[in-house]
Amino acid sequence: MSTLWIIVIVAAVVVLLAVAFTVLGRRRQVEKKREEAADLREQARKRARSAKQAELAAEEHAERAKRERQAAQEHAARAREVDPDVDDRADGDRRGDREPDRQDIAAH
């Protein structure tokens, strides 16, 4: 065999090895990216579940507040029925509902 053929064969083997290592490296890189994507998807699912739970809790809290508000309105309506002389304004300045002023306390 001539020296030229030996050089050609060695060069071909080197090129084939370089191509093989490049392909294998890309496959490993693609597999690593797939694993990373799977982790990100799992994190996204966890966060979505957590967000859904927070939304449900907020809705439940809002519903509870709505029921409490309704109960307060019903109690206020009943109070107006019981004592129609009470001025039931929203500013809290109601006759009999106010704390006495300091001067009023001193007068007693």
- Within 8 A by CB and 6+ apart from 85, the residues are 95
Please check the confidence at residue 37 and state whether its pLDDT lies above 60.
yes
Q: Which residue has the higher pLDDT, 98 or 8?
A: 8
Task: Give residue 98's pLDDT.
Answer: 46
Task: Give residue 83's pLDDT.
Answer: 83
The SS3 assignment for 76 reads: helix
Q: Rounded to whole angstroms, how far apart are CA atoms 63 and 57? A: 10
In this structure, what are the phi and psi dihedrals at residue 105, rounded to the nearest 5 degrees? -65, -45
Question: pLDDT tens, 42-94?
Answer: 999 999 999 999 999 999 999 999 999 999 999 999 998 888 676 655 544 44
As a whole-number percent, the residues of the chain with pLDDT over 90 amount to 67
Average pLDDT, the chain: 85
DSSP 8-state assignment for residue 86 = S
Q: In which band, very low, low, confident or very high, does the pLDDT at 27 lie, cut at 50, 70 and 90?
A: very high
